[in-house]
């Protein structure tokens, strides 16, 4: 699965930018509040507008304080997947239940320095695990390969039936890094500049998908 991140898109042409990647599995939307992360992007009104102009499922990544209070509104608006940060959520299990009750899939994200082990039981209530491969806040950062150990842990937990979720990765994904991420066990790849800096974003999506498929096939015993 490929999820282009509109953080790297032209904000003045968002409807066109979504239309330029018609075969995407999800559209990844980074919501930042300048508190949880040192950047300010967009919020619920823009997400509602995006939902009106695309049929591609919207994947909202909330890098915000107090997601217990605000995340539900994104689910109620129609976002397909709403991801919150375990570092910010006060009651992540209750929040997952509320997101699902509001009609969305529930996602839980971990920063590069946050270990996976303490949250395995929490993840049993979630549909998506988003592993950050850069420090959240800004696009265009260098991929942090050491987070792939968390991906491998999650892949093992899913493959052995302990968890049932999609393993997603976000940060520095491009033609050079998607291979190792795919071989580690990622299901969904968030890509920003690798898609929207390309001459043809739609072809870039397909190229990334093909590269991930090749890497996964090569890594299969």
CB of 57 closer than 8 Å to CB of 24: no
Rounded Cα distance, 113 and 76, in Å: 31
Alpha-carbon gap, residue 156 to 135, rounded angstroms: 24
Per the annotation, where are the binding residues for substrate?
Answer: 5, 61, 137-140, 170-172, 192-193
- Measuring CA to CA, how many Å separate 198 from each of 72, 73, 111, 207, 218? 34, 33, 27, 11, 26
Residues that constitute the known binding site:
5, 28, 30, 61, 137-140, 170-172, 192-193
Q: Which residues are catalytic?
A: 30, 170
Binding residues for a divalent metal cation: 28, 30, 61, 170
Alpha-helical segments (H) within 44-177: 44-53, 67-77, 92-101, 120-123, 148-159
Under 8 Å between Cβ of 24 and 56: yes
């Amino acid at each position: 699965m490929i999820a282009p991140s509109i953080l790297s898109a032209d904000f003045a042409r968002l409807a066109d930018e979504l239309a330029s990647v018609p075969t995407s599995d999800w559209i990844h939307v980074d919501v930042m509040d300048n508190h949880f992360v040192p950047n300010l992007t967009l919020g619920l009104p823009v997400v509602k507008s995006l939902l009106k102009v695309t049929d591609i499922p919207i994947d909202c990544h909330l890098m915000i304080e107090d997601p217990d209070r605000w995340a539900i509104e994104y689910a109620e608006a129609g976002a397909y997947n709403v991801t919150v940060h375990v570092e910010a959520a006060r009651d992540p299990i209750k929040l997952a239940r509320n997101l699902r009750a509001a009609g969305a899939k529930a996602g839980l994200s971990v920063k590069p320095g946050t270990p996976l082990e303490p949250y395995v039981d929490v993840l049993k209530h979630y549909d998506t695990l988003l592993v950050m491969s850069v420090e959240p806040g800004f696009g265009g950062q260098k991929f942090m390969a050491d987070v792939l150990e968390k991906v491998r842990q999650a892949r093992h937990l899913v493959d052995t039936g302990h968890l049932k979720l999609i393993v997603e990765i976000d940060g520095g994904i491009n033609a050079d890094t998607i291979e190792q991420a795919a071989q580690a066990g990622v299901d969904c790849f968030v890509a920003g500049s690798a898609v929207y800096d390309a001459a043809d974003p739609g072809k870039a999506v397909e190229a990334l998908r093909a590269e991930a498929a090749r890497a996964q096939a090569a890594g299969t015993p």
